[in-house]
A = this chain, B = another copy of it.
Amino acid sequence: MTVPYQPARLRQFLAELTRLVNDTAEEAPLLARGRPLLADLVRHDDWLAEPYTLPSPVRYQQYLLYADPLERFSVVSFVWGPGQQTPIHNHTVWGLIGMLRGAEISEPFVRTAEGWRAGGPSHRLRPGMVEAVSPTLGDVHRVSNALADQVSISIHVYGANIGAVRRSVFLADGTEKPFISGYSNATLPNVWDRSQETSAAA
């Protein structure tokens, strides 16, 4: 990282999300109030520690950054290597996707009698942009790294511990396959050590 590391941004984001889920369990206000919080977070690219930015040559990485103990939300860093993409999949819970670095393409899908078909225009997300998914708004999409030669990173917030949610991948012929995504990482960033900044502020 070439700029000073600012873990306080993630810490403040987690505090604000915790206040938000303490206030309401309804999707509409969660998305309405969560969206500007995530937009603020991804406006800067100086707070994500390096282990959570590393691509794998094998598949896109899903690094958990934080899970609410009551599983009301989770925050995940998705890291796309060049050319990587998800299968067509759903979420079953609300989600907010904020672009941090690079660019990704999200393609919405809808079910037809013949299988899954494009359900609207695909979106190109650039750094600072935020989009929402949910069973209410449209829950099925395929996401790809828009860049053939660079890593892209997006920060996802879900209305559950997404690593534990039973959801589905869809094949083009309409076949549905259950999956639980899990996480790529065994350890989470410790953004809670304020001994240096607290001392510095004294």
Binding site for B on A (CB under 8 A): 11, 14-15, 17-19, 22, 49, 51, 64, 66-71, 74, 161, 163-164, 166, 180-183, 185-190, 192-196, 198-199, 202
Contact = CB atoms under 8 A, between A and B. Distances in A.
A82 to B, nearest CB: 26
Given A18-B69, A69-B11, A70-B18, A190 B195 contact: no
Contact of A64 (B14, B67, B74, B192): B192
B187 A189 contact: yes
Given A164-B194, A166-B202, A187-B187, 8 more contacts: A17-B69, A163-B194, A166-B198, A180-B199, A182-B193, A183-B190, A185-B190, A187-B190
A189 to B, nearest CB: 6
A188 B74 CA distance: 15
A145 to B, nearest CB: 23
Contact of A193 (B66, B70, B183, B202): B183
